[in-house]
Amino acid sequence: MNKAITFAVIILVVLGAILYWAMLPSPEPSFEEIEKVTIATYLGEFSALVFIAENQGYFTDNGLDVTITEFETGLGPVQAVLAGDADFATASEFVLVSNSFNNEDLKTVSLINTASAIELIARKDRGINNPADLRGKKIAIPRKTAAEFFLGNFLIFNDMSIRDVEVIDMGPSDIIEAMSDGTIDATMIWQPNVYQITNRLGDSAITLPATTGQEFLFLMIGDGKKIDTNPLIVRRLLNALLEAEAFISNNPVETQNIISEKTNLEIGYLKSVWQGNDFALSMPQRLLVAMEDEARWVIKNDLVEEKEIPNYLDFLYIDALDSVKYEAVTIIR
């Protein structure tokens, strides 16, 4: 009898110990080596996942020592990657397309935001009240960005071409000033520049439907050679961004405050556009379709010498996202 009691006590102690250890919080992952990573990023709400991951320490938690450099457009970050000054860049899919014909080493590792964010704004005092009135007018865009493609599509949709207007290459801050002082007649530009221009012009501004239903796809793009050499860095990066995705979903007000402080964007503006953004990691089929459509447009408008569309599957690094959020990968391979 005593042996049976002793055995039962031992079993209870063992089970209690197992239960105790099971209830303890999981230990923080340890990393034998902290990887240094530079992310060149657009300084706006489209890059919210990056800024939240930085603010909340998710990069550090995933064994990354991240340096963030900031740019006014998505073109600058991609140029930084091409120059070897950054490992990753945030930019629209059109920036990737416009650089894909002579830079085969660029690869996107995930979408990080999907938005309806580009508008065509014109000055009504220049006699512009509908799309046809844009013929012969000066329209400013940052070339080699998504604005160039959306302007081209907008003109085609309205029975015009890029040759029917005078296109001027300007950065966003210069466009805001040029629209304000009347140096240009119109612009195709993304938020928050739309918000700032319309606020300055007031009743003198007219906004025309611009995107014909196509979304603005914002990507995390990397140096393909570095990705192939050390894919672990990509998984760590995406894990950090996945944590940021959950934070944004659960804490929209706090997120807006963090983004406002980081970017100097007004809280009122962020609240007005927030629901138009989907801050989530994904690799959808529509990304491949969009890039192929944009490449055809680039070739048709003689913006590159090449006449063949690249295979954009070669510009996607899918394995990392497949391993951390497999349900987000819906692209047909």
Q: Which CATH superfamily is domain 35-114+216-328 in?
A: Periplasmic binding protein-like II (3.40.190.10)
Q: What is the pLDDT of residue 132?
A: 93
Residues 159-193: pLDDT tens digits?
Answer: 998 889 999 999 999 999 999 999 999 999 988 89
**Polymer length in residues for the chain:** 333
Q: How confident is the model at residue 92 (pLDDT cuts 50, 70, 90)?
A: very high
Q: What is the average per-residue pLDDT within 147-162?
A: 89
CA angle 165, 96, 274 (to 5 degrees): 80
Q: Which CATH superfamily is domain 118-208 in?
A: Periplasmic binding protein-like II (3.40.190.10)
Query: Could you tell me if 123 and 186 are in contact, meaning their C-beta atoms sit under 8 angstroms apart?
Result: yes
CA dist., res. 119 & res. 151, Å (int): 9
Q: What is the average per-residue pLDDT within 29-53?
A: 89
Q: What is the pLDDT of residue 9?
A: 53
Residues 227-243: pLDDT tens digits?
Answer: 999 999 999 999 999 99
Q: Pinpoint the residues of the chain covered by CATH 3.40.190.10.
A: 35-114+216-328, 118-208
Token code pair at residue 74: 């998505």
Which residues are within 8 A (CB) of 137 and not within 5 positions of it... i.e. 6 or more apart?
Answer: 122, 126, 128, 165, 166, 185, 186
Q: What is the pLDDT of residue 211?
A: 63
Q: What is the average per-residue pLDDT within 198-222?
A: 86
Instruction: Look at the block and give the residue holding tokens 């059109």.
Output: 94
The answer to which of 209-218, 258-267, 324-333 has the lowest mean pLDDT is 209-218
Query: Could you tell me if 171 and 140 are in contact, meaning their C-beta atoms sit under 8 angstroms apart?
Result: no
Query: Could you tell me if 222 and 80 are in contact, meaning their C-beta atoms sit under 8 angstroms apart?
Result: no
Query: Could you tell me if 111 and 284 are in contact, meaning their C-beta atoms sit under 8 angstroms apart?
Result: yes
Mean pLDDT score of the chain = 89
**Three-class SS string for the chain?**
CHHHHHHHHHHHHHHHHHHHHHHCCCCCCCCCCCEEEEEEEECCHHHHHHHHHHHCCHHHHCCEEEEEEEECCCHHHHHHHHCCCCCEEEEEHHHHHHCCCCCCCEEEEEEEEEECCEEEEEEHHHCCCCHHHHCCCEEEECCCCHHHHHHHHHHHHCCCCHHHCEEEECCHHHHHHHHHHCCCCEEEEECCHHHHHHHHHHHHEEEECCCCCCCEEEEEEEEHHHHHHCHHHHHHHHHHHHHHHHHHHHCHHHHHHHHHHHHCCCHHHHHHHHHHEECCCEECHHHHHHHHHHHHHHHHCCCCCCCCCCCHHHHECCHHHHHHCHHHECCCC
Q: What is the pLDDT of residue 57?
A: 97
CA dist., res. 208 & res. 67, Å (int): 39
Token code pair at residue 182: 């009347």
Residue type, 174: D
Cα-Cα end-to-end distance for the chain: 67
Output Rg (C-alpha) for the chain, integer angstroms.
24
Q: How confident is the model at residue 65 (pLDDT cuts 50, 70, 90)?
A: very high
Residues 271-314: pLDDT tens digits?
Answer: 999 998 999 999 999 999 999 999 999 998 888 888 899 999 99
